Amino acid sequence: MKYVPFMICVIVFLFTSAGYFITDKKTEKIYGALSIVSIACAIVQAAIVF
């Protein structure tokens, strides 16, 4: 159960990174920002869990 927040952050990072490369310029900025936030979330969660 303690791995759930970490897994959610990683899944969100995967989807936002894929969306960054698929979308056009206007939406690309949103996906880029969400990708950075989600990888930061994953790093923090990994530090807590591991």
List pLDDT tens digits, range 1-45.
889 999 999 999 999 999 999 998 888 999 999 999 999 999 999
- Specify whether the CB–CB gap between 47 and 1 falls below 8 A: no
How much is the pLDDT for 38?
96
What pLDDT, on a 0 to 100 scale, did the predictor assign at position 24? 87
Q: What is the DSSP string of 1-50?
A: -TTHHHHHHHHHHHHHHHHHHHS-HHHHHHHHHHHHHHHHHHHHHHHHH-
pTM of the model: 0.86
Residue 50 pLDDT greater than 90, yes or no:
no
**pLDDT computed for residue 17 by the predictor:** 94
Angstrom distance (rounded) from CA 26 to CA 13: 19
- For residues 48 and 30, give the distance between their C-alpha atoms in angstroms, rounded to a whole number: 27
